Chains A and B, each alone.
Chain A
């Protein structure tokens, strides 16, 4: 790392500088808005991408900043999806925005309780426990067939139009904006969080847990707090998923989903928030296009791209971009 040369050290200025908005950060939002007008027929895919970004962003909070590796993040996605789904299917509450908040809250609660237990462990034990949590929840949903619909899925959800005006039509236009708004709020929250003093302690815990203990940081509670925030965000993604599809099956809790979100984040780059944007966009669109080109053989293509990225781009696609830019600068100077 070549720290910029300063005559007088100014740590506060340095941290504030990191939080300052850069013009390039407008890019994803401009693309998202432009896509709506340029490709109006692709909004269903667009909404899928946005849901995946929110989910990956939630994982980035714990993986990228606090260093918690999870193989069971779908547990919270699924908890949110089932909460919103059951609220509508069984209690007849179909207002989407309150349903979304309810899904997030339930997932957050599940995250708080499981995190409180899980985060007493580290390393492989923690990894296995996150996996076990998701599997247990999936089995629970399978057994509670009366409420969840079991393997056949939860049917009978009905959602009222957004603000009483915009219905989820076949083209998915209204829900694209809805999802984009949810993403914007989640992103602002995440960005504020990681640049706060709280966020810096998380990085400290990731880099050296013992030292954080030594300086008196309440490590366990810091981790539980960020885990709960992450679970809530994953729950919002799940709730959004339930409202978009009006159908939820055990698949929302599956290991495949936990794995996919991890792949997305690694593909884009961890610990930089925008990794979720790049990873989700590339992964979802790549999977969609390849599956269309060859319904029988698309998985090979997806696998190949992932292997190449991991081999040649350190820190994911964004990491690769960063190092390329740095090299260019070095060559110039």
Chain B
């Protein structure tokens, strides 16, 4: 076994050297500025995305067309915008980066967008999900998602397939929550359903007592209850209250976007989550060859007890997009060249087939219907249906700020 490994390593090294020799004089080092939250309460987001990126570079060195990348990491700390903006400004002026990527929180991406235009540096967004971000600069492309990618199809699907003629919505009162609720309402109403109640359920920082909100829903007796809360403690409390108040017994179906059942938090949610139906673009349990390879490589690199989640896959896909852009331009990265290379770029991601929309520079991907099941003592995500190749509905329907 050991000798075998040595042989493989030797072959790989030879191949790599040969590859480098072929690329020869034209091999370039592309500098990439990575702006993520590495510290504080949201540090695990930065960690997931960063690991996804590193893993892609390790697994697919050939995808960069003989060129290498140097990642210059900066901590964006809080979602305030100013710290990320200063970091980006320094990355452009002092480090002279060819490309920018990362961006967990939307305000950080929004604050940095004018700099991408001014400095002519392309920006690949790996999370920040406010729908209209790509319209802030012609040099932005996004490989993550918008809240509309899950909320809107969920509204339609809930009405057409789950029998939700009437629904109530409960959401944590901050932008992703409000976005998700609006998307769900739009989808539901277009399908002919009716949103009978909409309940803001506190801020994202503290877990509120959900009982009064859920009691209100129980009195209204809608067919379905759409909930958006941050994954983790909030979600666990939602499932507990859902059973305790008797909504489950009353036959009110619990649905939501897949952010709630994030892989890294899934096992802590308890059996109350079983049967919940969500709409999302990724779960580590997806059964396709790309994902099996991705998850196996992940567990080998970071430990068997860790799991990638949708943020990790966004980091992986973002790096794949960057690799494609570098290869297409043969290492001479420009803003226009990068965006042109990414427009219409299609890739077989662990989440399924993804494409960058040439018009909006936003992602087109499948929205999958997830059901939480329990198998072999652990909670799992089962895909029961798919809405194929969803374009961001907010921009497609020209709603509010997305109309620009």
Q: A-side interface residues toward B, CB under 8 Å?
A: 41-42, 44-45, 48, 150-153, 155, 170-172, 241, 245-252, 254, 256, 291-292, 295-299
Contact = CB atoms under 8 A, between A and B. Distances in A.
Given A251-B78, A296-B43, A152 B130 contact: yes
A172 B115 CA distance: 12
B382 interface: no
Contacts of B85: 245, 247
Contacts of A150: 175
Given A151-B107, A241-B82, A44 B114 contact: no
Chain A binding surface, main DSSP class:
helix
Contacts of B81: 153, 245, 247-249, 251
Nearest to B39: A299
Contacts of B31: none
A291 B74 contact: yes
Given A152-B107, A152-B130, A153-B107, A170 B118 contact: yes
A251 B77 CA distance: 11
Interface in B111-154: 111, 114-115, 118-119, 130, 136
Contacts of A248: 81
A295 B80 contact: no
B110 interface: yes
Interface string B66-101: 000000011101111110011001101110000000
Given A241-B82, A245-B111, A249-B79, A298 B89 contact: no
B82 to A, nearest CB: 5
Contacts of A254: 78, 80
Contact of A247 (B39, B110, B175): B110
Contacts of B136: 155
B345 interface: no
A184 to B, nearest CB: 23
A45 B90 contact: yes
A247 B115 CA distance: 12
A138 B347 CA distance: 43
Given A249-B111, A252-B82, A292-B74, 12 more contacts: A41-B94, A44-B90, A48-B86, A245-B111, A249-B81, A251-B79, A251-B82, A251-B107, A252-B80, A296-B38, A298-B75, A299-B39
Instruction: Determine chain B's interface SS by DSSP, over half rule.
Output: helix
Given A153-B110, A170-B119, A295 B74 contact: yes
B92 A153 contact: no
B302 interface: no
Contacts of A48: 86
Interface string B187-220: 0000000000000000000000000000000000
Nearest to A290: B75
Contacts of A152: 106-107, 110, 130, 175
A241 B81 CA distance: 12
A256 B78 contact: yes
Nearest to B94: A41
Interface string B10-50: 00000000000000000000000000101110010011000
Contacts of A292: 74
A254 to B, nearest CB: 7
Interface in B154-184: 174-175
Contacts of B175: 150-152
B301 to A, nearest CB: 17
22 contacts: A44-B86, A44-B90, A45-B86, A48-B86, A151-B107, A152-B110, A153-B81, A170-B118, A170-B119, A245-B111, A247-B81, A249-B107, A251-B81, A291-B74, A295-B36, A295-B73, A295-B74, A296-B38, A296-B43, A298-B75, A299-B39, A299-B40
A44 to B, nearest CB: 5
A41 B118 CA distance: 17
A39 B47 CA distance: 33
B115 A170 contact: yes
A192 B78 CA distance: 37
Contacts of B89: 44, 170, 172
B378 to A, nearest CB: 29
Contacts of B82: 241, 245, 247, 249, 251-252
Contacts of B78: 251, 254, 256
Q: Which of A172, A245, A250, A299 has the most C-beta atoms of chain B within 10 angstroms of its own C-beta?
A: A245
- Residue with the greatest number of chain B CB neighbours at <10 A, chosen from A152, A248, A291: A152
A291 B75 contact: yes
Contact of B93 (A44, A251, A256, A291): A44
A246 B110 CA distance: 11
B50 to A, nearest CB: 9
Contacts of A295: 36, 38-39, 46, 73-75
A153 B43 contact: no
Contacts of B115: 170
A200 B51 CA distance: 58
Contacts of B86: 44-45, 48
Sorted nearest first, the 4 A-B pairs with minimum C-beta distance are A251-B80, A295-B38, A295-B75, A247-B111
A296 B174 contact: no
Nearest to A153: B107
Looking at A245, A251, A295, A296, the one whose CB has the most chain B CB atoms below 10 A away is A295
Nearest to A241: B82
A172 B92 CA distance: 12
Contacts of B111: 153, 245, 247, 249
Interface in B349-374: none
A155 to B, nearest CB: 6
Nearest to A42: B94
A249 B119 contact: no
Nearest to A300: B39
